[in-house]
Amino acid sequence: MGRNAGTISKCSIWGVDLLILITLGTQANSFERLLQEVQNLIHEGYITEKVIVQAGTTKFHSDCMEIFDFIPIEKFNDLIKSCNLLITHGGVGSIISGLNNKKKVIAVPRYKKYGEHVNDHQLEIVENFNDKQFILGIRELSELKDAIEKSKTFQPKQYHSNRQNMIALVESYIDKM
């Protein structure tokens, strides 16, 4: 059963005071462990916010989260802008989307040992952004509850993209050729 984000109404997005957005990226890597931990925290009563998930290829059924395979970019951007907290895998694109929208981000790496990725590069990405205090990066899902609590007072350093500098360097190089 495909889950299409076209069924999200504005009421279900805007009618919520607090919203947690979870994004698992768009690559063909499942990340059920993260969704199971979030569901556990909801059932324990620790997470009371509305939770919307862009699951990508992860197949997970929940009676307490709105889960969609893929969300069209316009709706995804609306969700990023309206969320209070972004919980994501360790993908650079997802992390940067949150930072560019000045959101508090909790990032959790996928691991090779669980068959979630081909290597552990997401751990390096998460640690790098965490060490620079842009995000709350965690290594293990057992740390998620504490990270959510810490996010309530966490003040991330402002992220500045280096994209324009990189474009200028490439343009300069091309002009010299």
Residues 113-144 pLDDT 10s: 988 888 889 999 999 999 999 999 999 999 99
Contact 66, 52 (CB under 8 A): yes
Q: d(Cα 159, Cα 74) in Å, to the nearest integer?
A: 23
- 175 alpha carbon, distance to own chain's centre: 38
CA distances 25 to 30, 71, 92, 107, Å, are 10, 10, 10, 12
Q: d(Cα 86, Cα 138) in Å, to the nearest integer?
A: 13
- The residue ranges of every structural domain in the chain are 5-176
Rounded to whole angstroms, the maximal C-alpha distance in the chain is 62
Q: What confidence score (pLDDT) does residue 3 get?
A: 55
Locate 163 and state its tokens: 């994209």
Q: What confidence score (pLDDT) does residue 166 get?
A: 66
What class, spelled out in words, does domain 5-176 have in CATH? alpha beta
Q: What confidence score (pLDDT) does residue 111 get?
A: 92
pLDDT tens, position by position, 36-53: 999 999 999 999 999 999
Q: What confidence score (pLDDT) does residue 8 get?
A: 44
Dihedral, 89, 94, 97, 103 alpha carbons, nearest 10: -10
Q: d(Cα 177, Cα 175) in Å, to the nearest integer?
A: 5
Q: What confidence score (pLDDT) does residue 17 get?
A: 61
